[in-house]
Every structure is written in C-alpha cells, then in structure tokens.
Amino acid sequence: MVQVCIFAYGQTGSGKTYTMMGKPGRDQKGIIPRSLEQIFKTSQSLESQGWKYCMQASMLEIYNETIRDLLAPGRSSSEMPGGKQYTIKHDSQGNTTVSDLTTTNVFSTADVTSLLEKASHSRSVGKTQMNEQSSRSHFVFTLKIFGSNESTGQQVQGVLNLIDLAGSERLTKSGATGERLKETQAINKSLSALSDVIFAIAKNDDHVPFRNSKLTYLLQPCLGGDSKTLMFVNVSPEASSAGETLCSLRFASRVNACEIGVARRQTQSKSSSDNSNRLSYG
C-alpha cells in the first residue's frame, strides 16, 4: 500500500486553510481540490489500459484531543464535546480505521467539493488575537484508493491524507483565555508531539512516541516506512509576526533535513519502484 501525507503548518492567519482548501466558488483551488482533480483525471486515462478505481473519502477534525466526524449526519460546528467516541485502529497490513467514521464513495471532483463544503461548516473555529475566524482543530481529509486491472490481475491500494493543522503560535501571541486557552494548549501539545515523532524517526530511535497525541497515532502509517510525506510551511508577511515566522522557518529547516524511510509502489505482482522518502517542506 502506498501512503501519502501532506501537511500545512504555520501560525494562525498565515494561509494554511487557503493553501489546502482554496476559496470554493471563486476558482481559487487549494491542494485538496487540485489533488482530487489530478487523481480523477489520471484514473480515467488509465481505463484504456484496463484499470478500474474505487475511491472513498472521509473527513475528521481533532479538537482538544477528541476526534469529530465532520461528515456525520446532523453535524455542526456548534456541536458540544461528549458525543460519540471514535477509536483509531491499525492492522498488520498498514490499514488504519477510525471506528464509526463516515466514509463516502466519491466518483468526481463535484462529489468531493460538496463534502468539503459540508465539512468546512462543521469545523470548530473561534476568534483569537491572530485571526477572527481561527481554526481550532486539525482537519484531516483522507482518500482511500483501490485499483484493479482485469487484464493483468494486478491490484493496488493507496491512502492520501491531506491535513490543515491548527495554528502553531505560542500562548502569549494568541492572547487566548478561557476555552480558547484550553484549545491552544491542546493544539501546541499535539504539534509538539508531531515534532517529537518526526525527529525520533529521523534519528532511528528505538521508541517513537506515536501515542502521545491523536494526530500522530492516526497518521502513524504515513510517517515512515512505505510512505511519502510533505509539509508546507506557511508564514505571515506582517512584521508583527516576525517571531512566529522565525520559529516556523527554524522548524521547517529541521524537518527538511529528515529522511524517514523509503516510499514503494506495491502491486500483487510484486513489482515496485523505490524513491527516497525525505520529509520536506515547501
């Protein structure tokens, strides 16, 4: 199975959500709609070679270390914590499942656009000193791809995770109090856990602390082994954000030096091609 993961990292207001989602309805497409357009286009072009593909999408947020299903019927951003509990499970084949998470078959970019609009209205947001509409959670879009070739008997499977991380700014910069303070503390803790995992893998440590956060545990199969990982680092152009920008760029520099494994394409016929899996940033 091929696992691919793309993050958008940076302080609140630096353009992470715009990078990943774009502006729906304004012909300003982000990474998610552009990726899906390319995937559907490629899958259609391979039909002449005997390939048929099935694709399934899911969308969740991790808010205060709690998983929320953004496609659940009746879900809205005003939903309070304490609802359904979701459990992350990994199997020996590298498959990851989240119990009871809504998964939808998608056949076109229009299907995905409709789901993204629903998810965006369900995501947790709040006002901070950094942004009037600050995302207070990590958003994870997952596309599972299953392919089969009737002519050759080959089968392939892949997973694409596209992630809009919550803002990385320090507590003093966010000006958070009350519930916003609790959210910021949870965000920073999970981002710190992500850093710990990346650097532990890069150093070939015997123990990698995947279980220290829901985010890293969910993405465990994507952060090493047969996977490919990319991180976009977003920075604000404002002079007042220079300190946060410097922190983001320092983190990006460290991440760019990490090699976390080897990405392989695998089919039932055992054919494969290797590519160095450097965790890089753009």
3-class DSSP state of 171: helix
Whether 11 has a binding-site annotation, put simply, is yes
Query: How far apart, in whole angstroms, are the C-alpha atoms of residue 167 and residue 181?
Result: 13
Whether 128 has a binding-site annotation, put simply, is no
With beta carbons less than 8 A apart as the criterion, state whether 217 and 60 touch. Answer: no
Write the DSSP string, 122-189.
HS-EE--SS-TTEE-SEEEEEEEEEEEETTT--EEEEEEEEEEPPP---HHHHT--HHHHHHHHHHHH
Whether 99 has a binding-site annotation, put simply, is no
Long-range contacts of 37-45 (CB under 8 A, 24+ apart): 37/109, 39/143, 39/145, 39/160, 40/108, 40/109, 43/147
Whether 224 has a binding-site annotation, put simply, is no
Whether 16 has a binding-site annotation, put simply, is yes
Residue with tokens 């039932």: 268
Alpha-carbon torsion (110, 126, 170, 138), positive or negative: negative
Amino acid identity, position 44? Q
Amino acid identity, position 105? N
Q: Tell how far CA 101 is from the center of its chain.
A: 16
With beta carbons less than 8 A apart as the criterion, state whether 36 and 195 touch. Answer: no
Identify the DSSP state of 133: T
Whether 14 has a binding-site annotation, put simply, is yes
Whether 94 has a binding-site annotation, put simply, is no
List, as residue ranges, the binding site for ATP: 10-17
List, as residue ranges, the binding site: 10-17
